[in-house]
């Protein structure tokens, strides 16, 4: 259900794997990519550090929370680590459910909590120099909406 890996992944194959259950009416997937622009210039690559002992545990807890809120049939989370060039895939979250709103909401919920609670850190390389990415207040704010609903 959760993979932390340096290798790339095949979003289409992961979505197909979630379609096997005959009760499944909806699959929603999110794929995050390395953008080539940052505030300080053109990004050629990023480096992803994580906290190996904690990463999977924290993602597991986020998925469990989503499972308590929505009738999820399947979940797949893949997050890459190490060096990734601009344009490469970083992360994938896919959720299957009988109905579309549950799949949409659960996938957005998992991504919001992954962004602010899972122990990953990005360093962007611009002209060969590395800059640790600053967290965005908008990511923390995104968690608020899940407390209100």
List binders of its own copies among 74-113 (CB under 8 A).
Answer: 86-87, 89, 98, 100-101, 103-104, 107-108, 111
Backbone angles phi, psi at 72, to 5 degrees: -85, 140
**116: contact with its own copies by CB under 8 A:** no
Binding residues for its own copies, rule CB under 8 A, total: 34
Cα Rg for the chain, rounded, in angstroms?
A: 16
Q: Helix, strand, or coil here: 35?
A: coil
Q: How far apart are CA 133 and CA 53, in angstroms?
A: 22
| CA-closest candidate to residue 54, choices 27, 79, 29 | 79
Among 1, 19, 36, 51, binds other proteins (CB under 8 A): 51
Q: How far apart are CA 44 and CA 48, in angstroms?
A: 14
Beta bridge partners of 47: 83, 123
Could you say which of other proteins, its own copies, none residue 122 binds, taking C-beta under 5 to 8 angstroms by partner kind? other proteins
**41: contact with its own copies by CB under 8 A:** no
CA distances 39 to 46, 49, 133, 134, Å, are 14, 21, 10, 11
Could you say which of other proteins, its own copies, none residue 45 binds, taking C-beta under 5 to 8 angstroms by partner kind? none
**23: contact with its own copies by CB under 8 A:** yes
**Which residues contribute to the site for its own copies (CB under 8 A)?**
10-13, 15-16, 19, 22-33, 35-37, 86-87, 89, 98, 100-101, 103-104, 107-108, 111, 142
Please report, as ranges, the residues that interact with other proteins according to CB under 8 A: 32, 48-51, 53-54, 57-58, 79, 90-91, 100, 111, 114-123, 132-135, 140
């Amino acid at each position: 259900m959760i993979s932390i890996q340096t290798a790339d992944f095949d979003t289409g194959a992961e979505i197909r794997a979630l379609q096997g259950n005959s009760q499944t009416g909806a699959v929603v997937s999110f794929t995050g990519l390395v953008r080539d622009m940052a505030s300080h210039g053109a990004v050629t690559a990023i480096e992803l550090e994580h906290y190996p002992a904690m990463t999977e545990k924290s993602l597991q807890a986020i998925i469990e929370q989503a499972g308590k809120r929505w009738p999820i049939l399947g979940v797949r989370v893949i997050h890459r680590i190490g060096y990734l060039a601009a344009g490469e895939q970083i992360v994938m979250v896919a959720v299957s459910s009988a109905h579309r709103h549950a799949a949409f909401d659960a996938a957005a919920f998992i991504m919001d909590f992954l962004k602010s609670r899972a122990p990953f850190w990005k360093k962007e390389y611009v002209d060969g120099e590395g800059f640790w990415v600053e967290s965005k207040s908008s990511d923390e704010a995104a968690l608020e909406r899940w407390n209100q609903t």
